[in-house]
Structure 1
Amino acid sequence: MAELDKIFRANDVEAKQYERWERSGAFASNVASNAQPYTVMMPPPNVTGSLHMGHALTFTIQDVLVRWHRMSGRDALWQPGTDHAGIATQMVVERQLAEQGITRHDLGRERFLEKVWDWKAQSGGTITRQLRRLGASADWPRERFTMDEGLSAAVRKVFVQLHREGLIYRDKRLVNWDPKLHTAISDLEVQQQEVHGKLWHFRYPVEGEGESYIVVATTRPETMLGDSGVAIHPEDERYRHLIGKSVLLPLVGRRIPIVADDYADPEAGSGAVKMTPAHDFNDFEVGKRHGLEMINIFDRDARINENAPEAYRGLDRYAARAKIVADLEALGLVETIEDHLHNVPHGDRSGVAVEPWMTDQWFCDAKTLAQPCIEAVEQGKTVFVPKQWENVYFEWMRNIQPWCISRQIWWGHQIPAWYGPDGRIFVEESEAEASAAAQAHYGEEVELTRDTDVLDTWFSSALWPFSTLGWPEETPELARYYPGEVLVTGFDIIFFWVARMMMMGLHFMGDVPFRHVYIHALVRDQHGQKMSKSKGNIIDPLELIETYGSDALRFTLSSLAVPGRDVKLSPERVEGYRNFATKLWNAARFAQIQGANLPPDFDPGRLEQPVNRWIVSRLLVTRGKLDEAIAGYRLNDASNLLYHFAWHEVCDWYLEFAKPILGGGDERAVAETRATVGWTMNQLLRLLHPFMPYVTEELWEHFGGGDALISTGLPELDESLRAPEAEAEIDWLIRLIGEVRAVRSEMNVPAGAKVDLLVKDANATTQARLARYADLLERLARASGVELALGDLPKGAVQIVIDEAVVALPLAEVVDLQAERARLAKEIDKVSGELGKIERKLGNPQFLQKAPAEVVEEQKQRQDDYVQAREKLEGALKRLEAI
């Protein structure tokens, strides 16, 4: 076997190992297997996308789970794919055409869609290539695209069936309308932006009340042209006498009623609210309750249409706003104008303010579909991790609104609906079926026109857990891999994707689409701030992989993935885990140089050396805790267990304890220890592989068997390997060395100085241990000797207690005790001063109110650090004062 290089170079290893895995079919599921299936549906990234840190986190978590369960003997299917991302993809291609001076309308629908498919073929695989860099072990030959023919057939079938069941229907309702993209958009595609605007207070004359008027306030004066009522609270004493009367709408002259409704807040503004049911979601609900007229005064460009007075027709909404305010001021109907900071909804793609707009759209009866989904989670058929996310899910599901599923764009699943000459709608899976239905209805062949709208992207992705497995055909894959084990996703799409997959899965498959939903948090920068281009704090995962390696990034993300807590990421943290990979590499080189091997007949239950029995026992304990952590989706705990075991127990202690045995003359002990070191490396690489696949696979060639590590099982260890006596003995040794090292550090003992260890009151067990490990104590605790003290301990000796024994370190001749006391006291004063500043800051209510949350959190962390530092210094001073 070739000798390992002195340095682990991630970039040299990653491409080679990944290509080997993929070529060998190591990622493949096996539908004919007798093993228990383990299914994870990859949340399909947008075909327009490239890898960002949120992707890196969610796909790392999924890959760790998939690799772990694959190595546990499960038949793992990690179903990959990408989403066609309707609006996002159409915008990409339209921008490219705009650079050539062409619009999609110049090309027409068919030629434009050809351009989109061409772009998808050339550039659409970027993110899947990047996922390979991350080490994602998805079943790539099964990759699906949400507009593959098979998935398109599933979409058509679902639409037609839901329509026949009355759960999809066409209606005129308010939607979020993007006047730049000319389409309805979902709530998810709406971003609230804080805007410095105005709050205008207008006087609406009360009919039949002489000079009397009622004052209404609005941030959107242009919408008043569509007002059809004024609402007041039924118990508002100021206006109760006006209930049932009417006002004359200024500039328009329309007579509109004053209605009593609890929506009007007596404490807000004037207490009277103008009602524009066709352009405000809240007003729409009030309008339905009181039968108010729905008057649409905008066209698709958000310009004033023919339903408004002629003077305003054709004006852009903001030009109309200025003219309306000026005209009302001329009439003396402007009461006051206030500066007003408020949120305005904007389209996340177009960047323009969206308008609630009355339009004909296709809707899905989400309320009916949501009921079984609520019950499924209540009954534990699907469990959220962390559990508190169930409350968010329930809140949204119980208050769900009709789902607008149509979009006025060209890229996407075109709605399978055709219109007859009289407007009658025929919903069928194909044009031939629609023509047959029309002929049956009209008694003759007629010309049909297909609906030009496409479906909301979330409609097709809602079918992902079963459409990717071949539904509506009854395939072996569908029977075997549905439902999935776990969905791993962010909290921001619980409503828009998780809930809709639940609806469609229960309705069409009769079972939930996944048993667990693991909701991970956001990845923020090291200060806890959300990453954004404007802040300049975006961390590119591909740059981190290039610099530190994929293993380092993966281990960092998994170690920080505390359920329910945001991930605070810094490049320094990734660098630290790159050092961990290097530590593992160096340990493997040491083992190789020492001739460590794993004999075929190695039996860890027949070991004699306590240190070897100890490491086997510790690995057994770690293995059990890892299973518990993975089962609970606590990848942070699993990572920390592995880090502690590998770095501290294996590298810092076991290999150090093994060195004198390997260099000794007892051939039997040498052979046993070489074999145990080889076995330990073998077991450790298996456990680490799901988290750090590349470095472990590279080292496996030296410490494994013939198969690739990815295709090898996790360690299976019998409980009989637990060795409590060996654990107690070696743990005692570690505690003793650790305490001595801590005292030396606290007392500023020079690194090269050796100090006697004087031990008093040691019982027979401790005396035997001291004799057995004297050489190790001298080397690792830098002791000049280990002696049993029969009389009093010398003055100037620092004492530590290990079980029943007192261990003294005579430091009077090594350290100036008086100067050390003065140094420690000075350090304590300095730390206390810094701590006082922070405590005063955190005790200031104004700081807590005005400072950003991440700054407050940083100060609290610094406070904790200073408290710990002071406690450590005070402990050291206390030791000295006891001398």
Structure 2
Amino acid sequence: MKELEKKYNHKEVEKNKYDLWLEQKLFEAEFDSKKPAYSIVIPPPNVTGKLHLGHAWDGSLQDLLIRFKKLNGFDTVWIPGMDHAGIATQAKVEERLREQNISRYDLGREKFIEKVWEWKEEYALTIRSQWAKLGLSLDYSKEKFTYSEQLNKIVNYVFVNMYENNLIYKGKRIINWDPKQKTALSNIEVIYKETQGGMYHFKYMLENSKEEYLQVATTRPETMFGDVCVVVNPNDERYIKYIGKTVINPSNGAKIPVIADEYVEMDFGTGVMKCTPAHDINDFELGLKYNLEQINVMNDDATMNEKALEFNGLDRFEARKQLIEKLTQEKTFIKKEDVTHQVGYSERSNAIVEPFISDQWFVKMEPLAKQVLDLQSSDNAIKFYPNRFNDTLNKWMENSHDWTISRQLWWGHQIPAWYHNDTKEVYVGINPPKDEQNWTRDQDVLDTWFSSAFWPFATMDWNQDTESEMMKRYFPVSTMVTGYDIIFFWVARMVFQSLEFTESKPFNDVLIHGLIRDEQGRKMSKSLGNGVDPMEVIETYGADSLRYFLLTNSSPGQDLRYSEEKLTSTWNFINKVWNASRFVMLSIEKIPTTQEFDLALEKNEGNLNQIDLWILTKLSETQKQVKEAIDKYEFTVAGKVLYNFIWDDYCSWYIELSKAQIGENSLLNENQKEFSKLTLGYVLKNILIMLHPFMPFVTEEIYQSFALESSILKERWLEKEYKFETQSISHIFDIISTLREFRANQKIKNAISLNLYLNNSSSSVKNELEVEIEYIKLFVEKMVNCQLNNNIIQDKDYTSLAIKDYFLDIPNKDFFDKEKALLETKEKVSLLSKEIERSEKMLSNDNFIKRAALDKVEEEKKKYEDYKKQYEVLLEKIKQLDK
């Protein structure tokens, strides 16, 4: 065996390990294997920059599962890939170009796309290097990209198929609009922030009346130019008389009707609502219901258009300001209330998102949502961990709206639709129309989530004609790991697209994790400057420490708090494993294989000591508990079980006891001694196998020192169960622990010898103790005598320590120096006498009583009473010591 370095150095340990795994192709799938298959596809990170701590957590969870399954005899595949991230990547590249005083329009579409590809290649290398740092066991031979030629073929086929089956249509609807990027946004690209704003109240005068009006409140006065009616609840007695009448829109003087609909809440605001179908999603739905006009009052850069009259060309917020000034003069502005409300901001440009009516492509959600709901109510339902997120999925599907899939970008899958230059006819197809010169292709691209919705089967080389070998063996995906923040945006879409095109669910299990927050519990963000770079953590603590911390500090579905203290504790735990491994390697000649160990066990069965049988039993119990926990995705439970077994059972007890077993004064015969050495190494090897999915680098380093297989990943999780009757071993631990605690409490130095008498209350305990008493004698430092009966004690002056159903008796003379204690007590009495005398003089001094502060006098009186009580106690103690 190769000796480990004296000090654990994570930088040296983690160097070159990943290259070794790749060289041996340990991460690649085994198509011809008869092993059961297990598959994961990585949630593809955006090629917009470096991975953050959330990616590290997500990746560590998946890597644990892959390594665990591989060690348990599965043929595993983990498919890597990246997302082209349409709007995010385009925004980053445009930002870089602006620094060079270049716009994408200067370059043109084709040249700009070339620049984006350059960006993609640059950051793809960065992401792969970070995956390597984390030790992610990805099969790079199957890596995919959401904007590859292969994915583009799938995207075009799916789009055309859905269009032909009336699942995709083009129409005017309200969407989230980024006026800075000038594109539609998906819901996930809108970040809602609490924002200070105003609730503005206006008079909508009744036609032909100078006095009567309806009071309408809005947070967006600039949209008033698009008002087409005012709405009240039909049951609101205040306004029933106005239903069917006409009011004057104060912004432009237009005459608009008062209509009734139960959508309006009577107890919210004034109970009167303005309806602007082109600028509010709920108003839009009302507009469809009552066939109302859709008046768009803004340009695509959020400046006002000609519908805003004299405010044409003004920015929306400047128009708001000037409109209020105008209506104040006209006495139709009533008041402004300061409010704090949730306002949507574009994730990429930080512009306030405008609800905007626009001609876009949409996916019809109702039939697709029904498929998801039907699946989840069947026996074949996808299992969510934790299960409550199944309810989240169902609720979103029950309340889903048609999905906007077109984006006004250049980077992405261009929509396979063409418009005839003369007839304006629409053609949708995988290939361009035959007379292409007479057609103009749609300039929009598809939402990134549209292409990533095919990820589970696209990564498996799916095509519509024949079933690929990957699909046959690895689909549905075994486990999908992702955060709870994208269940609807990604998970739901993967489910319905898979059901639609493969007639199968995309995955069997979905493991949901939360968000990583800072040490104060705040969400990590650039604005707060509280983000943590995982590569910096790895530099300081190592990837193993980071992984173990991420994997064992949060339950499924829960957020995780970053903690430097826990990272330090994890590093110390790894160091403990390192030092334990060094001791084992210095103590034994070889590490046995499972076959060799079982032969040795069979040969020595019936002639083995209880300590070795105990640790083998504990090993089996631990392996069973860890496996059960990981199978349930309860990694924190698995980590805790492992930690306790390694730190307490193996390091604190077994290694210490083994020193008595294999050392010079060993009680064992040569065969037993040799088997103890084998056990010491064998248990360590299986500890490393269990630990490997959590911390792959250090376990590989230690394992390779054993000179066994070329990698620990070629080992197998121990399947044989060791179960021996080892209850008597607990007596050893109880006695040692009790004695250590007694020494600590009594401040008895280890150099002081003690006579111990075990006074047992039952014959069964006595029999068990007789087996182990020699171990107790060897293990307990400075123990002169240890016997099973307290009748030997002649002196009745002893201390009795209770241990379950028997006692540990210790003569007081062994540790208690009566003469010294008497002298120390008399010295304390002398000092107290002086304090009492001083206090009495002070309290009998009238000047002190009159001049001192009242609290000072009371404090002195309390001291005096305390001194007297202590004095009496010490005098009683002296009497006892003088006996």
Fold match by TM threshold 0.5: yes
Q: Distance in 2 between matches of 1:175 and 1:312?
A: 24
Task: Check conservation: 2:49, 2:123, Cα contact below 8 A.
Answer: no
Equivalent residue number for residue 716 of structure 1? 719
Point out the more displaced range, 119-128 or 236-245.
119-128
Residue equivalent to 1:399: 399
RMSD: 2.3
User: Quick one: distance in 2 between partners of 1:371 and 1:754?
Assistant: 78
Instruction: Give the conservation status (yes or no) of the 8 Å contact 1:755–1:811.
Output: no
Choose from 461, 465, 483 the match for 1:470: 461
With over 3 angstroms needed to count, the CA separation of the structure-2 counterparts of 1:645 and 1:207, relative to structure 1, is: same
Matches within 5 A, 1:176-575: 176-309=176-309, 311-379=310-378, 380-421=380-421, 422-431=423-432, 435-436=433-434, 447-472=438-463, 474-575=467-568
In 1: Cα distance, 2:429 partner to 2:746 partner? 84
1:740 and 1:528, CA in 2 relative to 1: closer, same or farther beyond 3 A?
farther
Is the CA contact 1:466–1:505 (under 8 Å) kept in the aligned structure 2? yes
- Give the direction of change, closer, same or farther, for the CA distance of 1:586–1:815 in structure 2 (3 Å limit): farther
CA distance in 2, matches of 1:125, 1:393: 35
Specify the alignment match of 2:831 in structure 1: none
Q: Which of these two proteins has the greater Rg computed from alpha carbons?
A: 2
Shift of 1:124: 2.6
Go from structure 1 to structure 2 and tell me whether the alpha carbon gap of 1:43 and 1:265 turns closer, same or farther (over 3 Å shift): same
- Return closer, same or farther for 1:109/1:804 CA change in 2, 3 Å cut-off: same
CA contact (8 A) 1:596 1:678 kept: no
Map 1:868-883 onto structure 2 (within 5 A): none
**Matched-pair contact (CA < 8 Å) for 1:747–1:815:** no
Report the equivalent of 1:841: none
Correspondence list, 1:716-735, <5 A: 716-718=719-721, 721-723=722-724, 725-726=725-726, 728-735=727-734
**Residue 670 of structure 2 aligns with which residue?**
667
**1:143-196 Cα distance to aligned partner (Å, 9 max, x none):** 111111111111111001000000001010000000000000011111112111
Residue 692 of structure 1 is matched in structure 2 by: 695
The 8 Å contact of residues 393 and 492 in structure 2, kept in 1 or not, is answered as: yes
> What amino acid is the match of 1:425?
V
Corresponding position of 1:657: 657
SS of the residue 2:728 aligns to: helix
Q: Shift of the alpha carbon at 1:512?
A: 0.4
Give the stretch that moved more between structures: 672-681 or 557-566: 557-566
Q: Report how far residue 765 of structure 1 moved.
A: 4.5
- Take 2:145 and 2:811, find their aligned partners in 1: how far apart are those partners? 73
Deviation by residue 1:761-792 (Cα, 9 ceiling, x = unmatched): 34444445545544643565546343431288
SS at the partner of 2:791? Answer: coil
Using the TM superposition, name which of 396-405 and 374-383 deviates more.
374-383
Deviates more, 1:373-382 or 1:675-684: 373-382
Q: Distance in 1 between matches of 2:470 and 2:589?
A: 44
- The 1:743/1:263 distance shift into structure 2, 3 A limit, reads farther
Q: How does 1:700-711 map to 2 (within 5 A)?
A: 700-703=703-706, 705-711=708-714
After TM superposition, list the pairs within 5 Å mapping 1:811-822 onto structure 2: 813-814=815-816
Specify the alignment match of 1:857 in structure 2. Answer: none
Distance change >3 Å, CA 135–CA 781, structure 1 → 2: same
Matched, 1:46 2:46: yes
CA positional deviation for 1:39 = 0.7
* Aligned-partner residue type, residue 269 of structure 1: G
Equivalent in the alignment of 2:116: 116
Determine the structure 2 residue equivalent to 1:134: 134
- The letter of the residue matching 1:729 is S
- Compute the displacement of 1:214 (Å): 0.6
Going from structure 1 to structure 2, the CA distance change for 1:658 and 1:312 (only over 3 Å counts) comes to: same
* Separation of aligned partners in 2, 1:793 and 1:469: 82
CA distance in 2, matches of 1:701, 1:162: 54
In 2, Cα distance between equivalents of 1:610 and 1:777: 13
In 2, Cα distance between the equivalents of 1:87 and 1:474? 33
Give the corresponding residue for 1:872.
Answer: none
Letter in 2 for 1:558: L
- Which is worse superposed, 321-330 or 679-688? 679-688
Alignment-derived partner of residue 148 in structure 1: 148
User: 3-state DSSP class of the match of 2:396?
Assistant: helix
Q: In 2, distance between residues paired with 1:10 and 1:716?
A: 31
Distance in 1 separating the partners of 2:125 and 2:753: 62
Does the C-alpha gap of structure 1 residues 51 and 231 become closer, same or farther in structure 2, counting only changes over 3 Å?
A: same
The 1:520/1:742 distance shift into structure 2, 3 A limit, reads: farther
- Which residue does the alignment assign to 2:572? 579
User: Which consecutive residues of structure 2, in runs of 5 or more, have no partner in the other structure?
Assistant: 826-876, 878-883
Comparing 82-91 with 677-686, greater Cα deviation is found at 677-686
Change beyond 3 A, Cα 1:418–1:679 = same
- Relative distance call for 1:128 and 1:367 in structure 2 (3 A) is farther
Moved more, 233-242 or 777-786: 777-786
1-structure distance, mates of 2:587, 2:11: 27
Instruction: Flag structure 1 segments of 5+ consecutive residues without an equivalent.
Output: 440-444, 821-879
Runs of 4+ in 1 over 6 A off after TM superposition: 791-796, 815-820
Q: What residue number does 1:602 align with? A: 597
CA distance in 2, matches of 1:500, 1:51: 24
Q: Is the 8 A contact 1:682 1:704 kept in 2?
A: no
Q: TM-score scaled by structure 2? A: 0.88
**TM-score normalised by structure 1 residue count:** 0.88
| Cα 1:752/1:425, change in 2 over 3 Å | farther
Contact preservation (8 Å) 2:41, 2:456: yes
In the alignment, structure 1 residue 14 sits paired with structure 2 residue 14: yes
C-alpha distance 716-212 of structure 1, shift in aligned 2 (>3 A): same
Change in 2 beyond 3 A, CA 1:798/1:631: farther
Of 284-293 and 19-28, more deviation after overlay is shown by 284-293
Residue aligning to 1:870? none
Q: Is contact 1:755-1:783 (8 Å) kept?
A: yes
CA distance in 2, matches of 1:48, 1:622: 43
Listed as ranges, the matches of 1:624-639 within 5 Å are 624-639=624-639
Q: Distance in 1 between matches of 2:447 and 2:146?
A: 12
The answer for the alignment partner of 2:684 in structure 1 is 681
SS at match of 1:307: helix
Identity %: 39
Partners of 2:87 and 2:529 lie apart in 1 by 26
Tell me if structure 2 keeps the 8 A contact 1:277–1:294: yes
Q: 1:751 to 1:106 in 2, by over 3 A?
A: farther
CA distance in 1, matches of 2:812, 2:529: 52
| AA aligned opposite 1:470 | D
Match of 1:519, as an amino acid?
I
Deviation of 1:210 after TM superposition, in Å, equals 4.3
- Structure-1 separation of matches of 2:710 and 2:40: 25
The 1-side partners of 2:817 and 2:697 are apart by 47
Alpha-carbon distance between aligned partners in 1 of 2:86 and 2:283, rounded to the nearest angstrom: 30
Quick one: distance in 1 between partners of 2:451 and 2:51?
A: 22
For 2:752 and 2:92, the matched residues in 1 are separated by 68
- Partner in structure 1 of residue 848 of structure 2: none
Paired residues of 1:490 and 1:519 also in contact (CA < 8 A): yes
Evaluate the alpha carbon distance shift between residue 667 and residue 164 of structure 1 in structure 2; reply closer, same or farther with a 3 A threshold: same
Shift of 1:808: 3.7
